[in-house]
Amino acid sequence: MSLWYRDRVRRANFHERTATLEMMGYPLSEGKLDQEEATALVQKSYFLLNIPKELAPVATEKYLAGTDDPVKKKDLLLDLIADRVFGVPSVNVARHHRDSGAPTYMYEFQYRPSFSSDMRPTTVAGDHGDEIFSVFGAPLLKEEETNLSKMVMKFWANFARNGNPNGEGLPHWPVYDQKEGYLQIGVTTQAAEKLKAEEVAFWTELLSKEAAKKASRTAHVEL
């Protein structure tokens, strides 16, 4: 029995995502970029993103084409990175674990602690590792945070004891089955379904087509 989780990476994990851009050769002093720059960054970052060079324009078009704002394009490139490196793989792992027959639970931590750094943008909710403060407790400043921590502690303790996080007085946490239910943990804690389903479908189709092309080229060469 396992507890699989994914942080709110789409708008969270700010420091790791900006560090990733720096690794890709994008100067952090820059607050914007255009479509051509974004595609070039993805193309030269195969070592990190594992996106074939010829697919980079398709990926950046999918994520960045909806706006002409160069600042928003930078944020959307961060979304692309987060989905490729964190979000989509997490969902795929949860699906494989579920399909193996093991009860699986997934959560998305959506709470922004009151002691968050001032460097964190206001658009960032739960960042990578923020739930640890709720799991083990911390000198929380707000009653709301204390209540959230008590709830999270009960979930984790139940899961450790019984392999099931649910218990009396707690919001229902659905098992991650074919409906792909998961728990959104935050000010309002509630069940939801199909975490990152559209993004998973996009990357699965894109990369499977490329794999099929490579297999076809290899077979042709062998003939």
Candidate ranges 9-13, 153-157, 212-216; pick with highest mean pLDDT: 153-157
For residue 217, is pLDDT > 90?
Answer: no
Q: State both tokens at 168.
A: 């009396």
Q: What pLDDT score does 148 carry?
A: 92
Mean pLDDT of 82-92: 89
For residue 222, is pLDDT > 60?
Answer: no
Using DSSP's 3-state secondary structure scheme, residue 53 falls into helix
Q: Is the four-CA dihedral 67, 69, 75, 81 of positive or negative sign?
A: positive
pLDDT in tens, 23-38: 666 655 566 788 898 9
Residues 6+ apart with CB under 8 A from 5: 90, 106, 107, 108, 109, 131
CA proximity to 180, closest of 151, 211, 201: 201
Reported as a pLDDT band with limits 50, 70 and 90, residue 127 is low
- Rounded to 10 degrees, the C-alpha dihedral 169/175/152/5 comes to -170
Which pTM was predicted? Answer: 0.79
Candidate ranges 1-10, 46-55, 185-194, 214-223; pick with highest mean pLDDT: 185-194
